């Protein structure tokens, strides 16, 4: 089962993280998304530590990836 929530950490997202065994994060290959991803990952780790010890980041889905461009390739390597 998947629960689609807004990318911001709000009541709905936190509720989903509390009950979910894992989560997927979507990511656009730009600097704004990259800078927003790290605080979101920290929030997931805090939720895991405080409220749901089973919670894991199962993966990051990269949207609109263009393998011929240098910036997207570097950002994906950084995520790995």
pLDDT tens for each residue of 28-74: 777 777 788 888 889 999 999 999 999 999 988 887 766 666 666 67
4 assigned to some structural domain: no
Phi, psi dihedrals of residue 22, rounded to the nearest 5°: -160, 170
3 assigned to some structural domain: no
The yes-or-no verdict on residue 13 having pLDDT over 70 is yes
- Domain residues for 72? 11-79
Q: Copy the structure tokens of residue 26.
A: 């979507």
2 assigned to some structural domain: no
Rounded to two decimals, the pTM is 0.74
46 assigned to some structural domain: yes
15 assigned to some structural domain: yes
5 assigned to some structural domain: no
1 assigned to some structural domain: no
Count of domains for the chain: 1
38 assigned to some structural domain: yes
């Amino acid at each position: 089962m998947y629960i689609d929530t807004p990318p911001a950490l709000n009541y709905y997202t936190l509720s989903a993280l509390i009950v979910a065994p894992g989560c997927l994060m979507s990511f656009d290959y730009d600097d704004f998304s990259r800078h927003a991803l790290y605080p979101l990952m920290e929030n997931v780790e805090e939720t895991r530590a405080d409220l749901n010890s089973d919670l894991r980041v199962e993966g990051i889905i990269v949207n609109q990836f263009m393998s011929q461009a240098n910036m997207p390739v570097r950002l994906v390597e950084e995520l790995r």
